[in-house]
Structure 1
Amino acid sequence: MFNSRNPAFRYPTGAVANCLPVHFKIDMPRDLHCSAARLLVREDSTGETQKLDMFWCGMNGDNHEWWECHFAAQRPGLYFYHFEVTTWRGVMQMHRAFGGTDTMSPEAKDDWQLTVYERSFHTPEWLVGGVMYQVLPDRFFRSGKPKTGVPADRTLHGSWEEEPEWKPNSRGEVTNSDYFGGDLAGIMEKLDYLKSLGVTCLYLNPIFEAHSNHRYNTASYEKIDPLLGNEEDFRLLCTEAKKRGIHVLLDGVFNHTGSDSVYFNREGRYPTQGAYNSQNSPYSSWYNFCSWPDDYECWWNFKTLPDVIETNPEYDQYINGSKGIVRHWIAAGASGWRLDVADELPDTFLDNLRTAAKMENPDALVLGEVWEDASTKSAYGKRRRYLLGDQLDSVMNYPFRNAILGYLLGHDPAKMLEIIMNVLENYPPQVVRLLMNHIGTHDTERALTVLGGEPTGDHGRAWQAQQKLTPEQRELGLKRLKMAAVMQFTLPGVPCIYYGDEVGMEGYKDPFNRGTFPWGHENEELLSWYRKLGKLRRLLSCLKEGTFTPLKADDHTLVYVREDSIDAILVALNAGENPYALYLPDEWRTAEPVFGEAPDRNSGIHLHPLSVTALVRQKRPSPSGPFPLGKPETPEEALESIKDKIMENIEQEPEMKDELMDFLKKIQKKT
């Protein structure tokens, strides 16, 4: 009778701009003798409910009839709705069921959600259709460039191949004070490697001065950590990255600082008077002391991470002011901020941060760490308004991670698809196109370990430290990881590779998921897979903002299509242990396979166990003929492919760098 995802029943579907009329239609069976119908819409922020009368508007065949009405929300926000119909059986309620459909069960209480965003909401164009890459700077690459001002109390590993320190010290503390020496200059040396993966956005975990290897305990927002380099190194990295079409995204940790910081100075490292040292400190009003100096609010009870009062005017001005931290580092070359624990940042602070970023650069990206459905997230007893147009541009997409890994580990494909569809229905399209689609981060187990190994469960660090995938587990994990990567790169949003996933790194939780990149020991087959996916992102228009249409989700199989007016891709996955024959719609019979096998003579494809097939078709004729995964469409694309191949060869044979670069210059000159 109703389906919120079908434009025949609700147009437009998905989130809508404020003041835009939404057309609702329900299809009532004639034998119910419906005499009246109403749409009931509750505004979440006020709790007020509107009742809109629906009007009979015609027959749908002989046995059904249409009832319709329009609703336009004047204010951005969340609205929840259901239907009420008067029938010969009395007044009946129609509520939401699985898949966006309806039910009249008396037990049903779920309403449909309508997200209404500010009609002027705009998000940056530069990330659309791109590829993100996340780097933990200490563990990516060490340049060997001399550093000055590095604190003497830091422990540097003697070998890049050693395991991160995980055992508590003599006081039973895990201090995260061991370093491998990766730096900004090292990242700059590997920009061509990132370019070969198709990376367009480099997301850096914190780079500001801090006294731990993860640097989430900021010591000074004004300085680059001396082990990583200095501001000049950062500016140069941003400049060189942009030459390759890569934007740099910074990690903003604004909910708390380190206790060992210029601002708090509990450890007495700095000559300044921090909030811990003096109640007359210029920073004392930034923190909430229950009893000064030792009893203070801190993040998740970690005494080394004192909470900041973000609504404090001096702190807000320091971060978001015209000469504040947000604007300074964007002016220095950053293209935006990823906000740590965004759900713990107050609305007013987020509003001001967005304003500061966009004032410095209208195309700056503001992306938040939110683990749940960000459209309905509540924190501290209040519904958050991250995605309504005046705070975040987009979020980290943990729901997609749960759906991808869950499907590949044997969970019901229909339920995993429902996670994806709910996000697409609830989030504004401007947000969806920039979703950070990751399958692992510094806060989670490595995807390969999840897909091939034993669940972490309640096992502690001692157990995790001993675990390495067996050859059989690794083989299984690699098959699943390839499938996960295809989903990650073809679902709506932007794929984000966690450094080293593309070459087969494994590891359980922190610090085992934060090992050093295995330069010289990469899984070349997996790396080629990722490079092919990166090229697919660059060539296919439909992977930018194309529609998403699910075709099948059962029996361990998942099939969907991304499509726009230029091209389309069909992705078919079999996560089961048995082969599967899949019938194809007519328009896909002559499509070109980019992964898996071509359709057979019976217009189907054969899905092997734990495999993926992806077919591409062009909807507009191209002068160069079929889809050019191996044959670029234009001379410019041809040159780009040659450059990518040369960079791959330089990575594999560094001693050939000068000769290969000379060859590239000759080709560029001829072109």
Structure 2
Amino acid sequence: MKALATALALLAATSSAQAAPAGAAGTFEKRERDWRNGAVVYQIIVDRFVPAADLEGKRALYPSPKVLKPWSEAPKAGVYLADQKLNSAELEFWGGDLASAASKLEHIQQLGADVLYLNPIHLAWTNHKYDAFDFQKVSPEYGSREDFKRLAADAHQRGLKVVLDGVFNHMGRNAPVFKDAFANPSSPWRNWFSIGPQYEGGALVWTGYQNLPELKLENLVVRRHLWLDKDSVVRSYLRDGADGWRLDTAFELGQAYLRELTDAAHKEKPGSLVVGEIANYPDRWLKSMDAVMNFTLRDIVLSMTRGDIAPAAAARLTERLVKDSGIEAMLKSWVVIDNHDIPRIATQLPVTAQRRMVQALQFTLPGAPNLYYGAEVGMTGGTDPENRGPMRWDLVRDDNPELVWVRKLIQLHKTHRALRVGDFRLIDSQQLFAFERHTDKVLDTRVVIANPSDKQVRERLMIANAHLMDDTPMVDLLGLVSPAPTMAIGPGFITVDMPPHSALLLQPRPKALGGYNRYKRVQ
């Protein structure tokens, strides 16, 4: 009897192990509790998002050679100003501020976004603010630290997190600390910078831009000011209401300092987000930060869309990227298609079907979709400064098909658990880009299939999910394929007919069998 009991116990344990999904239930529940996983991020440039209530009253904040532009005017390429060591387009402003941005938080909330990401707001000379004068102060055109606190508090009441842009690799040439350091060898800030005749212009600058002198991060005093001390830039803004930092040119900081900064942020606010602008392959960088702006994933998707990478190869590359990066970091990393440095998505992909397909992948691949302001209404714009135009509020209409589509994508991403926190599994295909997002519950499974080619593709695909029952209907949630496809999974297989530049998001829905449940003994 004892031997029989042992055998039965062993059999039960083996069956349980075979039936268990890839991740334990606790893993996915923990992911769901972390706001950073799969968050929908909405990015704004404060100057370009909402016009201030009293633009005329702010004119004194834009002294010559700065120019305050009408909201109806689009940015255009400028000319180099030798005396300013920058381009004239960098000194053109549209007059938005933190208070005006706060007045439109309802728009972001109604879209369904989870995070408001602000391009730099600290005191600086240019419109883009990547040339800081003082990190601890807010540029007066935008308001004050008190205005930021109010914005953050309002955002939090609406369920939104707030992420700031940290530009800690360099400052601006007109920053008082740099001007003193440059002119005075005994300046207390002299060792904040690399100054000497060996450098063109007399100081080491970021990638040759004379307006952007590099900070000497090897100087402990600089790092204490930026992120280590209790009253440092990183930690004090977190106390003021920020929930995380996006780090400009994060690769320039190096992995050791990035780890130090991330640890300081987590010490100040556990669960805060540190995401780096990393154009490199991300895997090793993710040991130093919570997440990256996933430019490698962007390149895979767009290269496939252009026909530079075959769909099957693109799927394998994505699988390799997920494996090397780790799913936990991938879920927190931002899925970027366009932003302030990249032409807008409607300009990159003017063909609607292609754009819809790419956006469908942006919201279904592992990660946190990054929505650049205006993308939801179809704003266009080429390279900088054209991609930084003032927000087109006239296009925010319920009958705008772009807005309808983006709202649908956000809703799908937020309401389908696997899309937010699920694991990734490649689906082998010869002609299509196909993958599965799955959790510990089989009916959470979502199958994503894209045809980036300009030809109709019919293919039979194996879905290697042991708990998807034979003859389970698979229902498309996107509506990009018309008429709506009808299909059911067989013994691990489905057959799809994919029009050119199309995508499917398939959900298993058990058949109504008079109360009988084929999934009664599997999760």
The residue type paired with residue 131 of structure 1 is V
Partner secondary structure for residue 497 of structure 2:
strand
The residue type paired with residue 289 of structure 2 is L
Match of 2:245 among 337, 350, 367: 337
1:168 aligns with 2:71: no
Looking at structure 2, the residues matched to 297 and 519 of structure 1 have their Cα atoms a distance apart, in angstroms, of 42
1:264/1:618 Cα in 2 relative to 1: closer, same or farther (>3 Å)?
farther
Question: Where does 1:609-628 land on structure 2 (aligned, <5 Å)?
Answer: 609-617=500-508
Structure 1 equivalent of residue 163 of structure 2: 249
Structure 2 equivalent of residue 133 of structure 1: 42
Task: State the number of aligned residues.
Answer: 459
User: Is the contact between residue 314 and residue 433 of structure 2 (CA under 8 Å) also seen in structure 1?
Assistant: no
The residue type paired with residue 189 of structure 2 is Y
Match of 1:563 among 421, 429, 438: 438
Gaps of 5+ in 1: 1-11, 15-121, 266-273, 377-385, 453-475, 622-671
User: Shift of the alpha carbon at 1:493?
Assistant: 1.0
Match of 1:527 among 378, 388, 403: 403
User: Is the contact between residue 209 and residue 223 of structure 1 (CA under 8 Å) also seen in structure 2?
Assistant: yes
The residue type paired with residue 450 of structure 2 is L
The residue type paired with residue 194 of structure 2 is N
Match of 1:590 among 441, 452, 473: 473
The residue type paired with residue 147 of structure 2 is D
1:254/1:613 Cα in 2 relative to 1: closer, same or farther (>3 Å)?
same
User: Is the contact between residue 202 and residue 247 of structure 1 (CA under 8 Å) also seen in structure 2?
Assistant: yes
The residue type paired with residue 252 of structure 1 is G
1:424 aligns with 2:322: yes
Structure 2 equivalent of residue 315 of structure 1: 222
1:148/1:447 Cα in 2 relative to 1: closer, same or farther (>3 Å)?
closer
Looking at structure 2, the residues matched to 374 and 330 of structure 1 have their Cα atoms a distance apart, in angstroms, of 25
Larger radius of gyration: 1
- Identical counterparts, % of pairs: 31
1:299/1:234 Cα in 2 relative to 1: closer, same or farther (>3 Å)?
same
User: Is the contact between residue 132 and residue 497 of structure 1 (CA under 8 Å) also seen in structure 2?
Assistant: yes
1:444 aligns with 2:342: yes
Structure 1 equivalent of residue 196 of structure 2: 290
Question: Where does 1:369-408 land on structure 2 (aligned, <5 Å)?
Answer: 369-376=277-284, 386-388=285-287, 391-408=288-305
The structure carrying a bigger helix percent of its residues is 2
Looking at structure 2, the residues matched to 128 and 228 of structure 1 have their Cα atoms a distance apart, in angstroms, of 30
Partner secondary structure for residue 71 of structure 2:
coil
Looking at structure 1, the residues matched to 408 and 305 of structure 2 have their Cα atoms a distance apart, in angstroms, of 21
Looking at structure 2, the residues matched to 558 and 143 of structure 1 have their Cα atoms a distance apart, in angstroms, of 45
Partner secondary structure for residue 153 of structure 2:
helix
Looking at structure 2, the residues matched to 587 and 432 of structure 1 have their Cα atoms a distance apart, in angstroms, of 32
Structure 2 equivalent of residue 207 of structure 1: 121
Question: Where does 1:619-658 land on structure 2 (aligned, <5 Å)?
Answer: none
User: Is the contact between residue 472 and residue 508 of structure 2 (CA under 8 Å) also seen in structure 1?
Assistant: no
Looking at structure 2, the residues matched to 578 and 595 of structure 1 have their Cα atoms a distance apart, in angstroms, of 20
User: Shift of the alpha carbon at 1:183?
Assistant: 1.5
The structure carrying a bigger strand percent of its residues is 1
Root-mean-square deviation (Å): 2.8
User: Is the contact between residue 589 and residue 604 of structure 1 (CA under 8 Å) also seen in structure 2?
Assistant: no
Match of 2:363 among 476, 480, 489: 489
1:123/1:349 Cα in 2 relative to 1: closer, same or farther (>3 Å)?
farther
Partner secondary structure for residue 576 of structure 1:
coil
User: Is the contact between residue 38 and residue 366 of structure 2 (CA under 8 Å) also seen in structure 1?
Assistant: no
Looking at structure 1, the residues matched to 138 and 129 of structure 2 have their Cα atoms a distance apart, in angstroms, of 11
User: Shift of the alpha carbon at 1:588?
Assistant: 7.4
The residue type paired with residue 600 of structure 1 is T
1:542/1:170 Cα in 2 relative to 1: closer, same or farther (>3 Å)?
closer
Looking at structure 1, the residues matched to 259 and 510 of structure 2 have their Cα atoms a distance apart, in angstroms, of 42
The C-alpha deviation readout for 1:45-90, integer Å capped at 9, x for no partner, is xxxxxxxxxxxxxxxxxxxxxxxxxxxxxxxxxxxxxxxxxxxxxx
TM-score (norm 1): 0.64
Match of 1:608 among 485, 499, 514: 499
Looking at structure 1, the residues matched to 258 and 471 of structure 2 have their Cα atoms a distance apart, in angstroms, of 46
User: Is the contact between residue 207 and residue 215 of structure 1 (CA under 8 Å) also seen in structure 2?
Assistant: yes
The C-alpha deviation readout for 1:265-299, integer Å capped at 9, x for no partner, is 3xxxxxxxx21232222211101112399511110
User: Shift of the alpha carbon at 1:349?
Assistant: 2.6
The residue type paired with residue 244 of structure 1 is R
Which of the pair has the greater relative contact order for Cα pairs under 8 Å at 6+ separation?
2
Partner secondary structure for residue 571 of structure 1:
strand
User: Is the contact between residue 139 and residue 182 of structure 1 (CA under 8 Å) also seen in structure 2?
Assistant: yes
The residue type paired with residue 135 of structure 1 is I
Question: Where does 1:148-227 land on structure 2 (aligned, <5 Å)?
Answer: 150-153=61-64, 155-169=66-80, 171=82, 174-175=87-88, 176-227=90-141
Looking at structure 1, the residues matched to 264 and 182 of structure 2 have their Cα atoms a distance apart, in angstroms, of 29
Structure 2 equivalent of residue 346 of structure 1: 254
1:181/1:450 Cα in 2 relative to 1: closer, same or farther (>3 Å)?
same
The residue type paired with residue 166 of structure 1 is A
Looking at structure 2, the residues matched to 619 and 261 of structure 1 have their Cα atoms a distance apart, in angstroms, of 64
1:526/1:440 Cα in 2 relative to 1: closer, same or farther (>3 Å)?
same
TM-score (norm 2): 0.82
User: Shift of the alpha carbon at 1:169?
Assistant: 4.9
Partner secondary structure for residue 199 of structure 1:
coil
User: Shift of the alpha carbon at 1:451?
Assistant: 2.1
User: Shift of the alpha carbon at 1:578?
Assistant: 2.6
The residue type paired with residue 413 of structure 1 is P
| Deviating more after overlay: 162-171 vs 208-217 | 162-171
Looking at structure 2, the residues matched to 619 and 350 of structure 1 have their Cα atoms a distance apart, in angstroms, of 48
User: Is the contact between residue 69 and residue 92 of structure 2 (CA under 8 Å) also seen in structure 1?
Assistant: no
User: Is the contact between residue 344 and residue 387 of structure 2 (CA under 8 Å) also seen in structure 1?
Assistant: yes
User: Shift of the alpha carbon at 1:507?
Assistant: 2.0
User: Is the contact between residue 76 and residue 386 of structure 2 (CA under 8 Å) also seen in structure 1?
Assistant: no
The residue type paired with residue 400 of structure 1 is L
Looking at structure 1, the residues matched to 282 and 105 of structure 2 have their Cα atoms a distance apart, in angstroms, of 32
Looking at structure 2, the residues matched to 434 and 608 of structure 1 have their Cα atoms a distance apart, in angstroms, of 32
1:348/1:575 Cα in 2 relative to 1: closer, same or farther (>3 Å)?
closer
1:371/1:618 Cα in 2 relative to 1: closer, same or farther (>3 Å)?
farther
Structure 2 equivalent of residue 666 of structure 1: none
User: Shift of the alpha carbon at 1:143?
Assistant: 2.9
